[in-house]
Structure 1
Amino acid sequence: MKVQVFRTPQDTAAAAAEAFAEAARRAVAERGAFHVALSGGSTPKLMYAALRDMKVPWQRVHIYFSDERTVAPDDEQSNYHTAKVGLLDFVPVPAEQVHRLKGELDPAQAAREYAALLPAQLDVVLLGMGDDGHTASLFPGTDGLQQGGRVIANEVPQQFTWRLSFTFEEINAARERWLLVTGAAKAPVLAQVARGEGDFPVARVHDPVWYLDAAAAAELPKSGRRAQS
């Protein structure tokens, strides 16, 4: 595992923000644009705040989302809404370069439309991990774990809802995959994933870079970590 451990969630988010800015500058220099998929969760909120004042070539950044709830874009549960109020309202990304998953549409239609507008390859996909080991909206026991293609509508019975999500095929096709995981509640599952135990969806993400705080990493072996201050 490529693991970086930081003291607090704030430190973890700041490190991820710095890596985001660096990856954006590198992608723009090499390919003329940076195509990145954002995720939901609490750690990205902290990352968004850190990114506001960083040197990022926003005019060349294209924003996507790795998953979305089936809600309107102004709903507080919407991943797009979280990114908008936390980051996009503060930085000069051209509006036409922000591509949201349309959670207000029929889920199957929204998934088809989003798959059609994605670039050939994303530079970075940002992901989180739930206490149950899910990532994006690929939850344990759901049909989406077995589906191919790029974007799917995934029924999540344990949440009594449908979700829109990248498939593992799409996630693993990106140039880089980053998992931002913080909090003691994540530690037991993360330790099992590190040992190759269990059948957690997040284990299907190929060769990710893990950005962890000390609480999430508490049950990992000390060897193999890159500890940060």
Structure 2
Amino acid sequence: MIHWRLFPTRQAQAQALANAVVAGLDEALTVRPRALLAVSGGTSPTAFLSQLARLPVAWRNVDITLVDDRWLPSTHAESNARLVAQTLLPGAQGAHWLPLVDTATDAALQVKTLNDTWTHGVPQVCVLGMGEDGHTASLFADAAQWREAIVTHDKFVLVQPQHAPHLRVSWSLSALAASERLMLQIQGPAKRAVLEAAQADEQDNAISRLIHHEGVNIDVFWSEE
């Protein structure tokens, strides 16, 4: 089930989303000593992440990770880790950063290690993005790993999209569905139409599979521009 929150501008959207994330983290920390926040990369989250970095949060009790990342060095311009390092981490003083990618090792080995050693559970707050093909995280329906990624009980999967660049590490569909609070940030009429179609009928793409997954609720933060 999805719940729409509509905004006229990206700035208004970013402010509201940052406030919602803070509220979600505060709520999580009332019942546990630490909370896990997973955020997305790309260009859309930049204003939101910068805004979140300025808000009061008990960051020393928060672990921060990514929903997905490209298999690139963290200094690469297209690395999601680089975006978080530039926008959120400078203000999130005391937070514990949990990267998904370590290009010093083999990619398949890295994903196996994550699955074997991850002790942080699933995110209490998870902020997703979505492409116009309906992918969320790096769960691309055109990838050879698609079927495994949407049925596995592993938390992490390795994905090689056919029509998007770079090998990627992503949370699996089941791990996203188990997250305590899911938020989706999208902009513009085209992505709204994709999401509405995904909601109306279950489709063979990640966002539709997630929407129709039993027990899943997603707060959608959509801006017109």
**TM-score of the superposed pair, with normalisation by structure 1:** 0.86
Q: Which amino acid aligns with 1:145?
A: W
Offset of residue 145 of structure 1: 2.8
Task: Please give the root-mean-square deviation of Cα atoms over the aligned residues, in Å.
Answer: 1.7
How many pairs are equivalent? 213
Matched, 1:81 2:82: yes
- Of 169, 186, 190, the match for 2:174: 169
Q: Which amino acid aligns with 2:82?
A: H
Who is 1:101 aligned against?
Answer: 100
5 Å matches for 1:26-175? 26-94=27-95, 97-104=96-103, 105-115=105-115, 116-147=117-148, 148=152, 149-175=154-180
Alpha-carbon separation, structure 1, partners of 2:24 and 2:61: 12
More deviation, 114-123/4-13: 114-123
Alpha-carbon separation, structure 2, partners of 1:129 and 1:33: 28
Who is 1:15 aligned against?
Answer: 16
Identity, % of aligned pairs?
Answer: 25
Q: Any conservation in 2 of the 1:68–1:103 contact (CA below 8 Å)? A: no
Secondary structure of 1:157 counterpart? coil
> CA offsets per residue over residues 84-103 of structure 1, 9 Å max, x none?
10110222134xx2000115
5 Å matches for 1:205-220? 205=210, 206-215=216-225
Offset of residue 129 of structure 1: 0.3
Q: Any conservation in 1 of the 2:187–2:223 contact (CA below 8 Å)? A: yes
Secondary structure of 1:90 counterpart? coil
Alpha-carbon separation, structure 1, partners of 2:74 and 2:68: 13
Matched, 1:192 2:191: no
- Which ranges of structure 2 fall in alignment gaps of 5 or more residues? 211-215
Moved over 6 A (4+): none
Structure 1's 113 and 155: CA in aligned 2 closer, same or farther, altered over 3 A?
same
Alpha-carbon separation, structure 2, partners of 1:198 and 1:166: 20
- Which ranges of structure 1 fall in alignment gaps of 5 or more residues? 216-229
Alpha-carbon separation, structure 1, partners of 2:164 and 2:10: 26
